[in-house]
Structure 1
Amino acid sequence: MTDPEFMDHAERLLLAVERSCDRISETSDADLDSQRSGGMVTITFPNRSQIVINLQKPLHEVWMASQSGGYHYRFDGTHWQDTKGAGEFFACLSREASRQAGVPLEFSAQA
């Protein structure tokens, strides 16, 4: 994958995260605050915990840090998959965000 291809896919991922946060905040009682700064999105929950999603351009990876740990994702041509087998990015983000929010939340690439 070239650098421009990585950035194209990674930017779409970050935009989908932001749109998912907006949708969740508008359609549920979950009050998520998402802030974007360059290649990083920080999601803050009402209990002040955070999930940070950060682009690692030199490695062509997306990193996610949550209360349960850190995850690294690479694009496989279709989805962003965890480099250690923990699954697809949006499924993992949904699981981690639900855990931190205390209510079921669903993030999607088609937010």
Structure 2
Amino acid sequence: MNITQFHTLADHLFNKIELFLDDYADEHDIDLDYETNGNVITISFPNGSKIIVNTQEPLLQVWLATRKQGYHFDYVNDNWICNRTNESFDLIFSESVVEQSAQ
């Protein structure tokens, strides 16, 4: 993958994250605040916790920082996959949002 492809895939993921957050907040009637600044999305929850998603261009990775731990994702077979757990970004991210919004 080259840098242009990486940015296209990362931009698509960031758009998907924003849509997920909007839908999740509406469906669960909670006030999620998120801000995108360049290659970083910061999500703030009513309980004060945060989730941060950012790109690591030199590594061609997307990183996810949750209250619980951090994850690094490589693009494999049309999906962002954690290089430690082999789970998808979508699964880990959605579980983290549910967990952090519940506390």
TM interval, short-chain normalised:
over 0.9
| Matching residue's letter, 1:11 | D
Structure 2: tracts of 5 or more residues without a match: none
Residue of structure 1 in register with 2:34 after alignment: 34
- Distance in 1 of aligned mates of 2:80 and 2:30: 25
Pairs within 5 Å for 1:12-31: 12-31=12-31
SS in structure 2 opposite 1:41?
strand
Larger displacement relative to structure 2 (15-24 or 34-43): 15-24
Q: Which amino acid aligns with 1:23?
A: D
| Separation (CA, whole Å) in 2 of partners of 1:17 and 1:35 | 11
Which residue does 1:78 correspond to in 2?
78
- Runs (4 or more) in structure 1 with deviation over 3 Å come to none
In 1, the alpha carbon distance for the partners of 2:59 and 2:26 equals 35
Give the root-mean-square deviation of aligned CA atoms.
1.3
Distance 1:19 1:33 in 2: 13
* The 10-residue stretch of structure 1 (49-58 or 94-103) with the greater mean CA deviation from structure 2: 94-103
DSSP-derived class of the 1:99 partner: helix
With structure 2 as the length reference, what TM-score do the two structures score?
0.94
Structure 1 residue 2 corresponds to structure 2 residue 2:
yes
Report 1:86-105 matches (<5 A): 86-102=86-102
> Could you list the per-position Cα deviations for residues 5-26 of structure 1 after superposition, in whole angstroms to 9, with x for gaps in the alignment?
0110011001111111111222
**Unmatched 5+ residue regions in structure 1?**
104-111
Query: What percentage of residue pairs aligned between the two structures are identical?
Result: 31
Task: Give the number of the structure whose residues are more often helix, by fraction.
Answer: 2
Counterpart of 1:67 in structure 2 is 67
